[in-house]
Amino acid sequence: MAGVIFRVLFLYSGGLTFSYDQGRDAFISRQILDGDFKIQGPPSSTPGLYHGVFYYYLLAPFYLLGSGNPIIPAFALALINGLGIILIYYFCISITGNKILAILASVLYSVSFEQSQYSLWLSNPSYASFTVPLFYFSLWSWIQKKSWAPVMAGISLGLSVQADIFLLYHIPPLLIITLNRNNKINFKGILKFLLGFLIAVSPMLISQVRFGFTAIQGLAGLLLGSTGQIRQFTDTWYFYINLLGRTFADNLFPINVSVGGIIGVMSLILFAKYYWSKPWGQLLVLYVISSAFSAPFGGYATPFLNVGIGLGVYLIFVILLKKLYVYSPILFSLILIGIICANISAIVKYNPKGQTIFALQKDLILRNELSVLDYIYQNQSSNSFTVNTITSPLYINTAWSYLFNWYGLKNYGFLPAWHGHDQIGQLGNNLPKASKDIKDYYLIIDPPEPNFTRFIQPGIEEENGYSILIEETHFGDIIVQKRKGI
């Protein structure tokens, strides 16, 4: 319970990132609720590759329960993520047989800064923070001859791939473990695994049949290196190591990335030195470094690539802590207290600002956005005004349209008109076109980020052709300009 509280501590005060992706997914979830069922998931960064559709169906009932309020599905994701606290306990028990060590692992996982960020992130990779560790727990249980484990390993890996198609990089560790003769995995178990996996990814397979096997083009681009920027061999591993170091830091010492990264790397090296000879030692090392298999294909550029790996980091860390306790209980206690305090400190500092690990526009959070809508509506003496937005992605009003449709319409009873770029083909294209008799204009400008900032001034100059500025107000880094139509 305490772990869930840490995850949702700032949720109800609006510490929730809500940008284009979140608006898009909210609209699609609503379409599903209206009977427009989907078989294709969100697009990936590689043309032709799509993630699975499971995420949309996961969100939809909670958007229904919350009458469109994104806080409710975010809370549901936090509960799913919180199941990892139970999972790490049983995973640790299964490996070590030590209940005290398992409780310690659960406590650390409960206060993890990284997990508190994943738990509320309204994006398709978020639920993999539970399904990825469930896959490795199932894989270990499979080695331990648990009858349920092969099917669960297949289902959890399949759902992880639905969350993010690039999580296919967990297949090489799977092959290494299953082909190791010492683990004595039989053919019957492999068939059970394949059955579970195929059932879990079946929506993605159906989507490929329906839309012409677009994944072939995407996968070919990744293998041939024709997607993204070409980098030197050393650059690839430089970026990957930095990403892995950040994963260590966000779990072990998030208030200082360098210190946290060093602690994590040293822990991994020492763990491999002491425990590689044990089957569970090999499994945990492969688990934590599994994303290295994606590095040659550009995986290092994705901040959430290591989703779900944090649980493995904590298992390695607590097992090493046990060895430290034998030599110095005082040092053991100081390190443990330091890790817990550093994570809680990061949660208190960063979580009110949303999911900062992933957000490109740091201040585009629900608290600021709803303040924008309240300001606009409460400045009106009538229900006749029009809005325009300068957004990232450029001139796509999906996120703001969702907020006006959910929050604005529900609380103020009407929608504004729209006088910006044509939204035909975009989700949320239901704001009426502004008529000439409307004189109250508003321009909403998204928070700046490196690839978007250069478009802000041209967007303002374009708006000057419709209206003149009266006053400008800031809500965090979101700018609202109140204007009069020309």
Task: Indicate the pLDDT class of residue 200, thresholds 50, 70 and 90.
Answer: very high
Examine the pLDDT at 234 and tell me if it is beyond 80.
no
* pLDDT digit string, tens, across residues 313-359: 999 999 999 988 888 889 999 999 999 999 999 999 999 999 999 98
- Segment 79-93 mean pLDDT: 97
Nearest CA to 482 out of 399, 377, 397 is that of 377
> pLDDT for 284-321, tens place per residue?
999 999 999 988 776 656 789 999 999 999 999 999 99
Q: List pLDDT tens digits, range 134-143.
A: 999 999 999 9
pLDDT at residue number 230: 53
Measuring CA to CA, which residue among 457, 314, 213 is closest to residue 3? 314
What is the average pLDDT across 265-269? 96
Contact predicate 32/427, CB 8 Å: no
Q: What pLDDT score does 15 carry?
A: 96
What pLDDT sits at residue 387?
97
Answer with the residue of higher pLDDT: 160 or 450.
160
Q: How far apart are the first and last CA of the chain?
A: 56
Q: Which two tokens stand for residue 484?
A: 């009069």
Give the pLDDT mean for 30-36: 96
Task: Specify the pLDDT at position 216.
Answer: 79
d(CA 127, CA 58): 9
Does residue 381 register a pLDDT over 80?
no
Residue type, 219: L
Tell the burial category of 421 from Cβ atoms under 10 Å away from its Cβ (0-12, 13-18, 19+).
middle
DSSP string for 338-355: HHHHHHHHHHHHHGGG--
Token pair recorded at residue 163 = 């969350």
pLDDT tens sequence across 443-484: 999 998 888 899 999 999 999 999 999 999 999 999 999 999
The whole-model pTM stands at 0.93
The mean pLDDT value for 387-394 works out to 95
Q: Which H or E run includes 427?
A: none
What's the pLDDT band for 409 if we cut at 50, 70, 90? Answer: very high
For 355, left (φ over 0), alpha (ψ -120 to 50), or beta?
beta
pLDDT of residue 44: 85
pLDDT for the residue 232: 65
pLDDT reported for residue 239: 84
The pLDDT assigned to 48 comes to 81
2-15 pLDDT, tens digit each:
788 999 999 999 99
Query: Residue 238 has what pLDDT?
Result: 82
Contacts 24+ apart (CB under 8 A), 240-244: 240/291, 240/292, 240/295, 240/299, 240/300, 242/300, 243/291, 243/300, 243/303, 243/305, 243/306, 244/289, 244/291, 244/292, 244/306
- What's the rounded mean pLDDT across residues 215-234? 64
Q: How many residues does the chain have?
A: 486
